[in-house]
Structure 1
Amino acid sequence: MIMVYVSRFRVFLVWVLCFGVALASWRFMVLGVEASMEFVAYHAIERRLAFFAHITLAPVALMLMPFQFWTGLRARRPQVHRWIGRAYGVSILLAGVGGLLMAAGTTAGPVAAWGFGALAALWLGSTGYGIWLALQGRIAEHQRWMIRSAALTFAAVTLRLYLPLLFATLGEETGYTLVSWLCWVPNVAVAEWYLRRPLRRSVALAA
């Protein structure tokens, strides 16, 4: 019984974090870019389309992501699941390309550029491949790749959890460089551990 409550709390926490961070990310609509995102506001001038595609649509993907793992919705309303998946994929396509362009033009240095660039490329690749697998009817493989996609989408949350601590302890320059990798590499590692557990391997073989 305790494990059931723990599991439900984890699910609840993911929903709260995804929606909370997504809504907080749209604060620029009220406060403006300069006031709310001073550290990256230069992107709004140098690569305006890429910047606004990323900061507007990445939160959409983050809010939609938990719905894709809602088993009841997927079972009872598969068509809704598919339409949410399409919206999730399009949001990541546009936000991911925007993220790639921003990474290429960052002033934070090559380590941060490669970190955020790798995140954007893997985000696009894992999501695109996962959707392609669904179109091929390879649902078990599709589910595995969408878990990887979700781990990368969740980088929006982990970045905001780590960044205040890193800024306070290491300073803005070093903290921002470190978070460009720290926000997503552990997420991917946890996802791979989850996917490679012996129990999941035996279930997959049985299927």
Structure 2
Amino acid sequence: MKIIGMFWFYFLALGVSGYAIFAYGFFPLGSLVHPDMKVVYLAHQAGIYTHIFASAVALTLSPFQFTAGLRNRWPQVHRMIGRTYLGVGVALGGLSGLYMSVHAFGGPVAKIGFAGLALCWLFTGVCAFLAIRRGEVQEHRKWVVRNVSLTLAAVTLRIYLPSSMVAGIPFEVAYPVIAWLCWVPNLVVAELLFNKSGRGLLKLKQMRGLA
């Protein structure tokens, strides 16, 4: 199951980042999105290009942070990837995402949703960095999982959008909801994962104590 999960992690993260680079690097800006969003993109080209390509960096590098072989055999490479992920992908992607959220299509609900995503992405990134600087490896890993769950909002967004279209939900109705749906459940799953692993560790300690 772990191998299958990592396969899908790599496949979706690299697939969406590749799509973003292809769509925005080889086609006119905004040509593959809703017409109203195209107007916003054209009016804020620096912001959207920075966000797209910084986020693509974060998506591309995120699976490698969870590759145990790389982390254990080449820790320096792991650190270099982590610094690039946080310093380029999350920092630039989050700040540009926060800027673009002000101009997001979908009214106040969408604007606040995407702003919340950007702020949480930046906050969890800072917490992950500070934790490893203090030498708190376990806390660092927890914050990285939270952060990557938010990075994967780019993936879930591109799952929900076509799904809503297939379901016949008008774009104007679906998009503000997806602005929240693309990241809040991801973060909830990350927290549930910590709770489950914490309970398992507690049971293991109790069993060892009885033995």
The answer to whether the superposition gives a TM-score over 0.5 is yes
Q: Is residue 2:154 matched to residue 1:153?
A: no
Q: Is the 8 A contact 2:121 2:150 kept in 1?
A: yes
Decide which of 63, 74, 85 is 2:71's aligned counterpart: 74
| Aligned AA (1:183) | C
Q: Is the 8 A contact 1:126 1:146 kept in 2?
A: yes
Which deviates more from structure 2 when the two are superposed, residues 165-174 or residues 111-120?
165-174
| Aligned AA (1:147) | V
Structure 2: gaps of 5 or more residues: none
Specify whether residues 175 and 109 from structure 1 end up closer, same or farther in structure 2 by C-alpha distance, changes over 3 A only: same
| Aligned AA (1:199) | G
Aligned to 1:119: 117
Aligned to 1:137: 135
How many Å separate the matches in 2 of 1:201 and 1:150? 25
Q: Is residue 2:88 matched to residue 1:96?
A: no
**Alignment RMSD, CA only?**
1.9
How many Å separate the matches in 1 of 2:16 and 2:38? 18
**1:1-207 → structure 2 map (5 Å cutoff):** 6-26=1-21, 27-39=23-35, 40-90=37-87, 91-168=89-166, 169-197=168-196, 198-200=199-201
How many Å separate the matches in 2 of 1:20 and 1:147? 20
| Aligned AA (1:19) | L
Please give the TM-score of this superposition, normalised by the length of structure 2. 0.89
Instruction: Return the offset for 1:152.
Output: 0.3
Specify whether residues 78 and 41 from structure 1 end up closer, same or farther in structure 2 by C-alpha distance, changes over 3 A only: same
Structure 1: gaps of 5 or more residues: 1-5
